[in-house]
Structure 1
Amino acid sequence: MPRLIVLNGPPASGKSSLARRYVSDHPLALCLDIDVVRSLLGGWLDRSDAAGSAARTLALAMARTHLEAGHDVAVPQFLARPQLAEQLESLALEVHSTFVEIVVDLDPEQMLERFARRTAERERIEHRDAADLLGRNDGLRDLVDMRQRMMAMLAGRPRARWVTSREGDLDGTYRDVLALVEAASARS
């Protein structure tokens, strides 16, 4: 049975790295990074709300197509509102797939340090764009607020499972994620 794996977490928690790792270990699995999809839309920084909505719509259609073909989909996405998580969960049920919601968390101080390092390097386009978007306001305060909004939303998502992002130990964090995916698959 294909799996729809949502990796939620604050910025710089390692969601995208974990999703890419999962995909590299699972042939034909899709890393569906909605931030990347959004960055493919022209002028998205100037129309971030409309671009975000369009990217989510596209991502749901892509996930449906890939799951129906029998392949896993990993979605690394910061979620602070329940709507997309609920849509992804409903989609998984509709197409008879296992839904796994994992929160990759780290403490706020680590989050700020990692985000500062990541945006200074800006090796990936979504990191540059995120830094630019957050840089328009008080970026560090925005990050702390984002994490608080995510935590409040997750209070209403009791089936979400948690892993701690280990500094310098992507392999260990990945093993924790795999264990949760396998446990969810065994329950399905």
Structure 2
Amino acid sequence: MRRLVHLNGPPGIGKSTLAALYADRHPGALNLDVDAVHRLVGGWRDEELDTWPITWALVRAMAAAHLDGGHEVLLPQYAAGSDDITAVEKLAHEHGATFHEIVLLDERDAAIERFGRRARDSDDPWIRHHHRLLEQSGGSAALGAMYDRLVKALNPGAVQITCRAGAVEETYELLVRVLRGLSPG
């Protein structure tokens, strides 16, 4: 099934968790977690070194190879800009795949709290690093602004799924039902 599914949503909402579950339960599907790829690039912790361009080049190449093989790609990544989403959609179409955007949302305050809880409860260097960067950028206010930008920029063609804290399996089942109803390409 040649399709690229962009799982969008605010930080800490469960995008990576759901993409990992989906890939585990659907052989051949690629969980192309941009954050996981970013950690593979030396220097990702260095605030003076911008490793995002090489990370995105790798992500595009991996997605292209997987789509060219006739497979499904899930891309769990926050994107509140139409240019970002358009670029991902263009990539899918360039490789003969359909594109679907699914946005995971919880109530604004709940989404902010979930990110904070994830950071407090984790010893993962990636999560701790990004929590620190976000705190330096304004903490909860910055997260709220990210949430607001996402909601304001929602693509009319995107499918929204309510993603409540602790409801991983229920949300996963909703995701699977939505994906079954979408054109496989």
TM-score by length of 1: 0.90
TM superposition shift of 1:48: 7.1
In the aligned structure 1, how far is the partner of 2:112 from the partner of 2:172? 21
**Identity value in percent:** 37
Counterpart mapping for 1:138-149 below 5 A: 138-149=138-149
* Pair 1:123–1:2, CA change in 2 (3 A): farther
Kept after mapping to 2: 8 A contact 1:2/1:97: yes
Partner of 1:175: 173
3-state DSSP of counterpart to 2:164: coil
TM superposition shift of 1:55: 1.6
Instruction: Map Cα deviations across residues 39-58 of structure 1 (whole Å, 9 max, x no partner).
Output: 22222343478322322222
* Pair 1:123–1:4, CA change in 2 (3 A): farther
In the aligned structure 1, how far is the partner of 2:13 from the partner of 2:22? 15
RMSD: 1.8
Partner of 1:184: 182
Instruction: Map Cα deviations across residues 88-133 of structure 1 (whole Å, 9 max, x no partner).
Output: 2112112222211100001111112211211012243431221121
Partner of 1:85: 85
* Pair 1:74–1:181, CA change in 2 (3 A): same
Partner of 2:108: 108
* Pair 1:45–1:136, CA change in 2 (3 A): farther
* Pair 1:164–1:72, CA change in 2 (3 A): same
TM-score by length of 2: 0.91
3-state DSSP of counterpart to 1:5: strand
Instruction: Map Cα deviations across residues 144-179 of structure 1 (whole Å, 9 max, x no partner).
Output: 01111112222xx21111000022211111111112
Gaps of at least 5 residues in structure 1 are none
Partner of 1:160: 158
Kept after mapping to 2: 8 A contact 1:166/1:172: no
Kept after mapping to 1: 8 A contact 2:7/2:103: yes
Partner of 1:43: 43
3-state DSSP of counterpart to 1:116: helix
Gaps of at least 5 residues in structure 2 are none
Read off the aligned partner of 2:137 and give its amino acid letter. Answer: N
TM superposition shift of 1:140: 1.1
Partner of 2:15: 15
In the aligned structure 2, how far is the partner of 1:127 from the partner of 1:10? 14
Kept after mapping to 1: 8 A contact 2:43/2:49: no
Partner of 2:58: 58
Higher helix share: 1
3-state DSSP of counterpart to 2:46: coil
Read off the aligned partner of 1:116 and give its amino acid letter. Answer: G
Read off the aligned partner of 1:32 and give its amino acid letter. Answer: L
* Pair 1:112–1:10, CA change in 2 (3 A): same
In the aligned structure 2, how far is the partner of 1:65 from the partner of 1:173? 29
In the aligned structure 1, how far is the partner of 2:150 from the partner of 2:36? 20
* Pair 1:177–1:48, CA change in 2 (3 A): farther
